[in-house]
Structures are given as structure tokens and as C-alpha cells.
Amino acid sequence: MKLILASFAAVIILYLSVSFVLSIPTETKEFYERLQPRNQPIQTETTEPEFRNELYKKASFIPQANYTIDALLLHKKKYYRGLEAKVIPWDYALGWGIMSDPESLKGLKIGQVMRFYRYSWKRDYPIPQTQIRDNSANCHLIPASKNLLKVIKKIKKGDTIRINGFLVNVSLEGKRPWVWKTSMIRTDDGAGACETIYVKSIVWKEKLYE
């Protein structure tokens, strides 16, 4: 019996060890440029045509703009149900400008539900609601690789990161085909106000991942 238990424990340890190693993302290179979360996201025109990715069999991506953002991760949420969860598994609530300052976030309660980012504040919270809105966003993330998916899983609330990629509309195929559209401005709110980002690279903890 002891031998069986020891063998079982060894198998469990081996499984956990292999799972841990496989969950570690591979860095492309060291990255020592200082991130600038106090700055606004950079959005520029793109001529990139519609494309597909073999990771997502029932989706095609229509780039709307090049997009780079340095930001503080305010909150993150994993989604599991529906075709869109297979293409857009994670939402990040990101803050830049005044919303990247930890001192400014004291007294602000942040959460995510049903693809929305929500916040509330104490009575004497000093930052106007318009500044919260204009300097933060709920972002739907589409990792371009399995390695980037590993990184997205690892990043924690309070980390400062850089995301580079495209703002995209997503054409989803199925019994009820439809297009998931991205926001193109930072000053909107409510339904349709989230940025949908096709993530080509991430900078995190002085490392670049692709």
C-alpha cells in the first residue's frame, strides 16, 4: 500500500511540475525601455487587410487601427461561455493617465461582469467621473499566440504593461454569424465602448513577449 501511495504521489508531483513548466511563457527579449502609463494610448491608421489565425477556426479579424497602450491593470476577468469566449477569453480593465496612479485609485471600487467594466467610489472621491471614463477602459483581448495567452493569464492586478496590436472588429461564424465591433475612441461609455485588441506583443516586467 505504501508503495502504491508513493507511486501515486510521484505521478501527481510529476504532473504538477510539467503543468507548471508548460504554463510559463517564453520571452522574446529583455525590454528595458521605461513604460509610460501616464501617456494616452497611441492609435494610428492601418492598411492591414482582414486576416485569420489558425488558433481561432470560426473567426476572422478586420483591423481598424494600430494600437499601443501602456497602462496599469486595474482588474481582469476570464470568460468561459459562448463562441466569443473561445476567441476573446480575457477582459482587462486598463487605466492610463490619472487612472494609472495608485494614489488616485484609493477609494475606487473596480469590477467586471458580462463584458463590462464597472466602478464605484466613496462619497468624497476627488476625481471627476469624466476623468475616470476618459482614462480607463474595458479591453477585450485576443492573443495572437498561445504564448501570449500564457502571459495574459500570468499578469496580475496592479502590474504595469504595454500591449501592442490592432483594434479589430471580429467576424464570428456559426449558426448565428455576427460581427463583434471595437470602440475607436476613449471617451465613450456603455455598450460598444470597449476596445477589442488583437494582441501581437506584450511588455511585462522588463520582458517582451510575442
pLDDT of residue 15: 43
pTM over the 0.75 mark: yes
Q: What is the secondary structure of 143-180 as a DSSP string?
A: ESSHHHHHHHHH--TT-EEEEEEEEEEEEE-SSS-EEE
Q: pLDDT tens-digit profile of 88-126?
A: 999 999 999 999 999 989 889 999 999 999 999 877 888
The span from the CA of 106 to the CA of 35, in Å, is: 22
The span from the CA of 178 to the CA of 1, in Å, is: 57
CATH fold of the domain at 29-209: OB fold (Dihydrolipoamide Acetyltransferase, E2P) (2.40.50)
pLDDT of residue 16: 45
